Structure 1
Amino acid sequence: MANKKKVIVTGFEPFGEHAVNASWVAVQELDRIGLGEDVDLFVCEVPVEYQAVQTLLPSMWTEHQPRLVVHVGVSGLAKAVTLEQCGHNKGYRRLDNCCFSPESECCIEDGPECISSVLDMDSVCKRVSETASGTKVTVSKDAGRYLCDYTYYTSLFVGNGRAAFIHVPPLGKPYSSEDLGRALQAIITEMLSQLEGGHAPARCNHQGHQ
């Protein structure tokens, strides 16, 4: 159907102590249950590699022309499903799965310090929490200066803000893959609803940077 909304949702491959990456498990569960008949869902596992992200994301946006791209990552510190409002350009020193980090320590040379999603994550959080999905949802403005933040910033830059990032806790701490899949379904459905309402792109300057 030509009027279907194309949505891309990505998770990450295993890295570090995360021998099983809850983000990709959650995305696979979402792929199983879907986002409804009017959404054309495409899922992808992203390498935990800076250079792979630099190549993969722009081609993904160009090839699929999605309405929205949602990246999902795991955080060992997360106790709730966390909606990230913005991505950051600088501070990437931690080595990836190929023992590489960008020499410039940034995503996009001369890019803005911070880019905010066109989505209002506080509003998404409030609406999803009211549906009593059984999964705690919260909002953050710091995605961690590793591949999660790097991927988010790159996608926001390429997609003019029509991207989102969701951090999930490790499996069983406390949520199952089914819990996380249902939470992603509810959150992304709400994000699409908000997008249909029409929001102007916004630059994030919560740290006073331009």
Structure 2
Amino acid sequence: MKILVTGFDPFGGEAVNPALEAVKQLPANIAGAEVQWLEVPTVFYKSAQVLEEKIAAYQPDVVLCIGQAGGRFGLTPERVAINQDDARIPDNDGNQPIDTVIRADGAPAYFATLPIKAMVEAIKAAGLPASVSNTAGTFVCNHLMYQALYLADKKFPGLKAGFMHIPFMTEQVVDKPNTASMALADIVKGIESAIAAIVSYRDKEDLKTIGGETH
């Protein structure tokens, strides 16, 4: 089994991106699966182009995209990506699409095809906070998740894909009072635990645990 894990470059004025720093530290083998990491630009469409080229070359069974969600305190596998860009800030190339469809021939939304609830439970079992997230936002994170699932639907049959947001690293909140963060080593451990769950549930249905919210 081959798993491709992506991490974005820094954006929004941050000097680092914990997603990229974490995926760089992943071992090459997790639970018997081969793991490769890929840096992607925090840029609409360009990120998807880089991902598609790597998928075509590497032919992974699974794509797990990782992104920074500053302010969240746990690791949060995403349930769904929507076919809409609505950027609150410009991306790293200065693009700021507003109310823009990502793929004209794509579904209104795509649900993750990874075992998101099993991933959450595995991260919790490793002693770290985790929960299912029901919104990936409308910035490049949602864009890339949508594009990964679109590619799986249209071009790479059998490919499983999804996205997980992670908190700021501790170093990023030195000047951000009352902002949640996590040590990089713990972020790496959480991603490893999530990947182990993906491997374990390769041929099984996801857990039927509660992962919803009231609002």
Is TM more than 0.5 here?
yes
The yes-or-no answer on 1:27 pairing with 2:34 is: no
Counterpart amino acid of residue 59 in structure 2:
Q
- Paired-residue identity, %: 25
2:8 corresponds in structure 1 to 12
Query: In the TM superposition, what is the alpha-carbon distance from 1:18 to its structure 2 partner?
Result: 2.1
The yes-or-no answer on 1:183 pairing with 2:190 is: yes
1:91-119 alpha-carbon deviations (Å, 9 max, x no partner): 33342111114477122113111100122
Query: What is the TM-score normalised by the length of structure 1?
Result: 0.83
1:73 corresponds in structure 2 to 67
Per the alignment, in what secondary structure is the counterpart of residue 40 of structure 1?
Answer: strand
Query: In the TM superposition, what is the alpha-carbon distance from 1:60 to its structure 2 partner?
Result: 1.9
- Which residues of structure 1 form unaligned runs of 5+? 200-210
Whole-Å separation in 1 of the counterparts to 2:133 and 2:100:
22
Q: Which moved more, 1:65-74 or 1:190-199?
A: 190-199
The yes-or-no answer on 1:91 pairing with 2:82 is: no
Distance 1:37 1:140, change over 3 A: closer
Query: In the TM superposition, what is the alpha-carbon distance from 1:64 to its structure 2 partner?
Result: 1.3
Counterpart amino acid of residue 165 in structure 2:
H
Query: What is the TM-score normalised by the length of structure 2?
Result: 0.81
Contact persistence 2:120–2:132 (CA under 8 A): yes
Per the alignment, in what secondary structure is the counterpart of residue 197 of structure 1?
Answer: coil
Counterpart amino acid of residue 47 in structure 1:
P
1:48-99 alpha-carbon deviations (Å, 9 max, x no partner): 1113123212222221111101110001121111110111111333421111
- Which residues of structure 2 form unaligned runs of 5+? 154-158, 171-179, 207-215
Whole-Å separation in 2 of the counterparts to 1:71 and 1:62:
16
Please point out which of 157, 167, 170 is paired with 1:169.
Answer: 167
Root-mean-square deviation over aligned CA pairs:
2.0
1:203 corresponds in structure 2 to none
Runs of 4+ that moved beyond 6 A = none
